[in-house]
Each structure stands twice: as C-alpha cells, then as structure tokens.
Amino acid sequence: MSVEIIVRTNSMAYAREFKRINEDWISSNFWLEDSDIQVLNDPQTYILDKGGNVFIALSNGEPVGTCALLVKNISTCELAKMAVDIKARGRGIGFLLGSALIEKARQRGFTRIVLEGNTKMAASISLYRKLGFEEIPLADLDTKNSLHKRCNIFMELRLNPFIQPDYFI
C-alpha cells in the first residue's frame, strides 16, 4: 500500500471526499453538529481562507483520510477533522496525517497544537498520545464554549517555543 499525503493551502481540491469521509466518521460515532456542517460544506471559507491547511491521504490515488490545521491565534493551531475511511483503517494513515500536520505546524512557526476528542474513541486517543499530545484538564480551559458538545477531552502538543512564525520574520 502506497500512501501519499497532500496538503491543500489555497484551493480545496477533494472537498467532496473531505466532507464524505468526515461525515461518515462523525455520523457513525456521534452526530453532526452545526459547526461540523458549516465547515464540511465550505472548507475553503472556514479553513483555507482563514489561513489553515487541509491534508488528504491518498492510497493509490484514492482519498482515504483527512485532517485539517485550523489557525487559532499567532502561536496555536488546532488539529481538526481527522478521519480515515472505514476501508482504510488500521493501516497507519491517521499517524501519517497527524505527523504531516505536526511538521506543517512546525514549519509555519506554531508553538502549540490543540485538539478536541472523546474518550469513547480509544484508538483516536491512543493515536494522539503516540503523536505526543497530552491531556489538558477541561476545568483548566477558558474555551469551554468552543468545544464541540461531543468532546470530553482536550489535548495539546507543545512545539519548539523558540521558532518565530514566518510572518514575523
């Protein structure tokens, strides 16, 4: 199996597949929230036009996984909309997507990556820990209103704090 990760920066190729893979994953485990519908219907406006990136995993040219880097502020980005098509799970595609996002965040000068999750999804939480993410107690957050209703865990990965974001150099 050959997997290629492509990063979308300016235009949203694979928008239909991004939506399908995410809707399938969310719907099979939880429910689509209004914010999901908004982002999945228009990733160009809600991700790319706000400075984010969309990552698409291709296996033999076929989209099988996605994730997105959302810009939160000058030093923090979010790993969001990570999903792998049911027929491609268990092949390390989530790890490849997460690793590509972490590398892109480092290149862009972010010092922190955050994510929202649910402990019901043990494989996802294990993957995040494998990528280096650590849990932040929800009680310590000032962003409770921004959490998805389905989320009960918030995690972060601290990157090199000494790198200056490229837009400040």
Is 105 within the bounds of a domain?
yes
Q: What is the pLDDT of residues 92-117, one digit of tens each?
A: 999 999 999 999 999 999 999 999 99
| pLDDT higher than threshold 70 for residue 32 | yes
Return the amino acid letter for 83: A
Give the mean pLDDT of 23-34. 92
Is 19 within the bounds of a domain?
yes
Is 165 within the bounds of a domain?
no
Beta bridge pairs of residue 80:
68
Give the domain extent around 27.
3-158
pLDDT (0 to 100) of residue 146? 56
Is 14 within the bounds of a domain?
yes
Binned at pLDDT 50, 70 and 90, residue 149 comes out as confident
With a CB cutoff of 8 Å and minimum separation 6, the contacts of 153 are 116, 117, 118, 119, 125, 135, 138
Distance CA 138, CA 155 (A): 9
pLDDT (0 to 100) of residue 166? 55
CATH code of the domain in which 14 resides: 3.40.630.30
> Two tokens at 116?
């929202």
- Using alpha carbons only, give the angle 70, 36, 11 rounded to the nearest 5 degrees: 50
Is 168 within the bounds of a domain?
no
Is 169 within the bounds of a domain?
no
Reported pTM: 0.87
Distance CA 58, CA 152 (A): 30
> Domain count of the chain?
1
Asked if 88 and 24 touch (Cβ cutoff 8 Å), the reply is no
| pLDDT higher than threshold 90 for residue 41 | yes
Is 129 within the bounds of a domain?
yes
Asked if 98 and 84 touch (Cβ cutoff 8 Å), the reply is no
Please list the alpha-helical segments (H only) found in the chain: 15-29, 34-41, 43-46, 93-108, 122-130
